[in-house]
């Protein structure tokens, strides 16, 4: 009886556990907003980013890393602008620009190392088009200049349109 019960349970478990799953990959999309500046978790996030820079070794790895970071900071900038955190948003936008500028150089290096970069070039082009789309939307939504009055610090003028125009230029003329 003990043996019958054991075998019966074994067969049932066996039957249930036999299944398959599927894999899928979407086309190029910008990420959801990540951790926002201001808290301790953001500082941890920055450390994680630095570590990740080494994890993404190799020409393609570095290309992916810089493009991913550029995407992330662009989304961060847009979100901060929407919440009227313009000073922080401008910082994020500048970071996104810097990362974007670095991406093509890693592709050139990959080409020098005899790697076929045609797919990655296409990826960069699609990414730049999407970035320009988002930046153009931002240009329409947000005012040309923001007079920013932070606490305990002298007020500054933030030329948003000029910054956004410069970001668009970086993405349009990366080649």
Partner 1 sequence: MNKWIFISYVVFLTIFTLFSYLFVDGNLPYLQFLFTDFAFKNRLITTIAYSTLLSLFFGYYFYFIRLVQQKKLSMGNIRLLVIVTIGILLLAYPAMLSYDIFNYITTAKVTYFYHENPYIIMPIEFIHDPLLLFTHAANKIALYGPTWILFSGVPFFLGFGNFLLTLFLFKITAALSFFGVLFLYYKLHKDHMSLVLFAMNPLVLIETLVSGHNDMFVMFLVFLGIFFIQKNKFTGWLLFILSIGVKYATLFLFPIFLLSLFYKNLNKKSFFQLSAIMMFIIFLLSPLREEIYPWYAIWFLPFVFLSGRRLFIILTISLCFGLLLRYIPFMLLGTYLDPTPEIKIIVMVIPVFLAAVSYLLWLKKSFHYYQ
Q: Which parts of this chain interact with partner 1 (CB under 8 A)? A: 3-4, 6-7, 10-11, 13-15, 17-21, 23, 25, 55-61, 64, 113, 115-116, 118-120
Which CB, 79 or 109, lies closer to partner 1? 109
Provide the 3-class DSSP secondary structure of residue 169: helix
Which CB, 60 or 142, lies closer to partner 1? 60
Which CB, 108 or 115, lies closer to partner 1? 115
- With CA atoms as reference, report the closest residue to 168 among 141, 142, 129, 140: 129
In the complex, minimum distance from the CB of residue 64 to partner 1, in angstroms, rounded to a whole number? 6
Which CB, 42 or 57, lies closer to partner 1? 57
Which CB, 62 or 92, lies closer to partner 1? 62
In the complex, minimum distance from the CB of residue 47 to partner 1, in angstroms, rounded to a whole number? 19
Q: Which residue has the tokens 């980013």?
A: 49
In the complex, minimum distance from the CB of residue 130 to partner 1, in angstroms, rounded to a whole number? 20
Quick one: DSSP state of residue 10?
H
In the complex, minimum distance from the CB of residue 4 to partner 1, in angstroms, rounded to a whole number? 6
d(CA 100, CA 116) in angstroms, rounded, equals 20
Task: Tell me the H-state helices in 35-148.
Answer: 40-55, 59-82, 86-112, 118-141
In the complex, minimum distance from the CB of residue 98 to partner 1, in angstroms, rounded to a whole number? 21
d(CA 47, CA 43) in angstroms, rounded, equals 6
Cα distances from 57 to residues 3, 51, 53, 156, in angstroms, run 55, 11, 7, 39
């Amino acid at each position: 009886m003990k043996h019958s019960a054991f075998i019966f349970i074994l067969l049932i478990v066996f039957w249930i556990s036999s299944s398959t799953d599927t894999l899928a990959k979407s086309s190029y999309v910008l990420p959801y907003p990540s951790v926002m500046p201001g808290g301790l978790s953001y500082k941890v996030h920055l450390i994680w980013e630095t570590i990740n820079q080494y994890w993404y070794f190799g020409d393609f790895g570095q290309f992916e890393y810089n493009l991913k970071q550029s995407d992330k900071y662009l989304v961060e900038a847009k979100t901060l602008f929407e919440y009227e955190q313009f000073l922080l948003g401008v910082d994020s936008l500048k970071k996104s620009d810097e990362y974007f500028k670095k991406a093509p150089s890693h592709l050139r290096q990959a080409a020098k190392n005899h790697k076929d970069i045609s797919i990655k070039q296409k990826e960069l082009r699609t990414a730049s088009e999407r970035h320009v789309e988002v930046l153009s939307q931002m240009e329409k939504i947000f005012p040309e200049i923001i007079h920013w009055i932070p606490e305990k610090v002298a007020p500054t003028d933030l030329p948003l349109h000029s910054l956004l125009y410069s970001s668009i230029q970086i993405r349009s003329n990366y080649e």
